[in-house]
Structure 1
Amino acid sequence: MTAIISYDTIILGAGAAGLMCALTAGQRGRRVLLVDHAEAIGKKILISGGGRCNFTNLHTAADRFLSANPHFAKSALGRYSAQDFLALVERHGIAWHEKTLGQLFCDGSAKQIVALLQDECDRGAVEIALGQPIRDVEHADGRYRVTVGDRTATAPALVIATGGPSIPQMGATGFAYDLARKFGLKVVEPRPALVPLTLGGDETLFRSLSGVAAEVVAKAGKAKFREAALFTHKGLSGPAILQVSSYWRHGEPVGIDFLPDLAPGWLVAVKHARPRARLDNTLGNHLPARLADTLADRIGIDGELGTHTDKAVAAAAAQLADWRFTPNGTEGFAKAEVTAGGISTAELSSQTMEARKVPGLYAIGEAVDVTGWLGGYNFQWAWASGWAAGMAIARD
């Protein structure tokens, strides 16, 4: 007969959010079981930031997160800040640096962040069960019963921290949503976010620019970001594109300002000052040559600028300032850094991350309909939401 082991909480998912929740509750005297089907903890952490883990962002604020409820993230982010996690990093003697735009990375390796989390879990006497699938989850008489491999655990609290389906090659699945629906929680349709966009039809010619990058302002809907855009053999990528991809909807255009530092009348001024100048050569002063040539060819202003009207030249400048691409899709969950959508925030307490209608059930991290910008924001949401749930479990 299989023994049933009792805990104070069972956490499903040993990623960033699950580990933070486990160490927070464990260090406050709760008996914690942390479960993951992977053979090791923090697998996504290890590949993040090019192996150096962009572990938080100094500019974290709720307006840098997407959610059906844009206010939901405020409570957790306000109570466990980027500075709080940075203090933990420094306490472990991990050297770090700010790259750009508030993004903090390890000087060494992402392995240091995983080691930090393991050490903090050890301090909280967290029991970790790895490499075994979750076979069954039930709820009766105020307790959750989880069958993991060949053993069964029970606890009054259960935390869903298994993330979303982004990067399936790492073992990511939609398990969190299936479990949420089983307990009657609504799920906002999941979709790839922070993901490259693909181009088709007449725009496939831009694929010939694969490997060419430029600093641009990219726009989708009301969102806009100034960072690098990269042309790929499938379409568009780079930080600026990944950022707007979270806001992009199928069928909508993405606008690119290829020359964000130039005023609207700049090209007409060039024409008047140097009427013999050509558009491709003029653009080549500001952009990579291959990109300059392609844009000039598409615009269709041949020969010397002085042979064209001010109106035509101004129209060319306007097109360069808001070049419209209409992606035919994304590269999907396989290339998405995170998942947008997820367990509806309307089902959860923003203070504790506990389900309003299902006592003792919590959801944290990427499993929830809260998605951050590129640059450490999603890690900060994992730390903050995991901490909020861990504190709530420790108080119960």
Structure 2
Amino acid sequence: MADEYSQSTKQYDVAVLGAGAAGLMAAIEAGKRGKSVVLVDHAERAGKKILISGGGRCNFTNLHTTPANFLSENPHFAKSALSRYTPQEFIALVEKHAIPYHEKTLGQLFCDRAAQDIVTMLLAEASGAGVELKLKTGVRGVERNDEGFTVTTHDGTVSAKNVVVATGGLSIPKMGATGIGYEIARAFELEIVETRPALVPLVFSPADEEKWCDLTGLSADVVASTPGSPYHPARKPEVTFREKLLLTHKGVSGPAVLQISSYWKPGKPVVFDLAPGQVVFDLMLAPDAIRTAEAMAYYLKETTLPQRFATRWMRLNTPEQWKNPQVKGLEEALHRWTVVPAGTEGYAKAEVTAGGVSTAELDSTTMGVKKMPGLYFIGEAVDVTGHLGGFNFQWAWASGAAAGRAV
């Protein structure tokens, strides 16, 4: 598979823009169908974001993938692609290449060795399918012509009957993320759902930072929730996730926070149940119960909160009186630690970008633009965002396969 760029008047059947997860899959599927395919990327190597995923081991799919694991203005849009390229199909590809893997919690599958195994596998599949790879070739724009499309790059032009835009979102700019996919969409007058960082740590307000940030590194099992999401009107009024919370030097992170961040709206609270499934202070309501700070501390030891976290929470919540309403208030406060974040850590720390090309513009079975035959958008560039845990990779494989089989 060539990685040298050479100016050519050759017209390809398919130009795929972006050699990440979705782009590689689209190129492979199109090439397997006998199409002439060129895969273009501005980076010096393919799959850069794959390589850093999952702590370097690539959480390449999730066994429990369903449409409910995705956020979109149209919660039904992802159903078609996900049903036609399942986790089991990608697992079969991994096993074909004898890549060892294992399941962690909640159906998450990781490479035993390194994410490089997945990139090597995809490049081998692309090579076998006759895909031509052009790296260090940044895309500037796409225009319609009489025979298809002209892709303008910083190093010349590429002509193709079909163009698949797999340029990703805005997350992790140090890995080369750009907004070129959205620029292409705007050039064709496509609607774009406002983008925002997702799966991203949240930042404390100055007041909360003073209270909590010296406890950096402590984690706890929590249920994180936020009121009804304006980004997902079809969902129930409250969105919840039970996973780990991590205190950071800026605010809160960990799986529970990353999950809830995709649904959080600036100015709104995030609520954490610090003792999920437990009733902690009920014995203090007995008529002859000891009601002191020491007793409160004793009962807090029954929770899974780290001692320093529990001690700090107790200091901030010890009541002045110990009557029944105050004891009941303690229980309520423990299950509803409410934080109003000052913001997020932004695209630099966001695992993905939420929002993107509106699904109303696309055919859900092919990922093709309804009003512009031959143009496709896939992966993170589209307004479909998965939960943490391999779901975004599964969307990349599924949407990429849908486009690659349609071009």
Q: Same fold (TM over 0.5)?
A: yes
Name the residue aligned to 1:382: 396
SS for the counterpart of 1:7 is: strand
Name the residue aligned to 2:384: 370
Name the residue aligned to 2:315: 297
Which one of the candidate residues 259, 266, 278 is aligned to 2:275?
259
Which one of the candidate residues 337, 346, 357 is aligned to 2:371?
357
For residues 175 and 187 of structure 1, the distance between their equivalents in structure 2, rounded to whole angstroms, comes to 13
Cα shift at 1:139 = 1.0
Letter in 1 for 2:272: I
Name the residue aligned to 1:336: 350
Name the residue aligned to 1:91: 96
For residues 192 and 382 of structure 2, the distance between their equivalents in structure 1, rounded to whole angstroms, comes to 9
Which one of the candidate residues 64, 69, 76 is aligned to 2:69?
64
Cα shift at 1:271 = 5.3
Q: Are 1:127 and 2:132 counterparts?
A: yes
SS for the counterpart of 1:230 is: strand
Q: Are 1:235 and 2:228 counterparts?
A: no
Letter in 2 for 1:249: K
The CA RMSD measured in Å over matched residues stands at 1.5
Cα shift at 1:2 = 5.4
Give unpaired runs (5+ residues) of structure 1.
none
Moved more, 280-289 or 8-17: 280-289
Name the residue aligned to 1:174: 179
User: Normalising to structure 2: TM-score of the pair?
Assistant: 0.92
SS for the counterpart of 2:258 is: helix
Evaluate the alpha carbon distance shift between residue 136 and residue 176 of structure 1 in structure 2; reply closer, same or farther with a 3 A threshold. closer
Q: Are 1:53 and 2:58 counterparts?
A: yes
Encode CA deviations 1:239-290: one digit per residue, 9 max, x unaligned. 0000000000001000000000203xx4122453862643234323321111
Q: Are 1:321 and 2:327 counterparts?
A: no
For residues 242 and 36 of structure 1, the distance between their equivalents in structure 2, rounded to whole angstroms, comes to 29
For residues 368 and 351 of structure 2, the distance between their equivalents in structure 1, rounded to whole angstroms, comes to 26
Moved more, 220-229 or 251-260: 220-229
Q: Is the Cα contact below 8 Å between 1:192 and 1:340 reproduced in 2?
A: yes
Q: Is the Cα contact below 8 Å between 1:5 and 1:152 reproduced in 2?
A: no
Q: Are 1:36 and 2:50 counterparts?
A: no
Encode CA deviations 1:334-381: one digit per residue, 9 max, x unaligned. 000000000000000000000000110000000000000000000000
Q: Are 1:217 and 2:223 counterparts?
A: yes
Q: Is the Cα contact below 8 Å between 2:11 and 2:161 reproduced in 1?
A: no
SS for the counterpart of 2:316 is: helix
Which one of the candidate residues 78, 84, 89 is aligned to 2:83?
78
Letter in 2 for 1:82: P
Give unpaired runs (5+ residues) of structure 2.
1-5, 228-237
For residues 274 and 38 of structure 1, the distance between their equivalents in structure 2, rounded to whole angstroms, comes to 66
Q: Is the Cα contact below 8 Å between 2:141 and 2:180 reproduced in 1?
A: no
- Percent identity among equivalent residues? 54
For residues 124 and 3 of structure 1, the distance between their equivalents in structure 2, rounded to whole angstroms, comes to 21
Encode CA deviations 1:44-74: one digit per residue, 9 max, x unaligned. 0000000000000011000110000000000
Evaluate the alpha carbon distance shift between residue 135 and residue 5 of structure 1 in structure 2; reply closer, same or farther with a 3 A threshold. farther
Name the residue aligned to 1:186: 191
Q: Are 1:27 and 2:32 counterparts?
A: yes
User: Normalising to structure 1: TM-score of the pair?
Assistant: 0.95
Name the residue aligned to 2:115: 110
Cα shift at 1:206 = 1.3
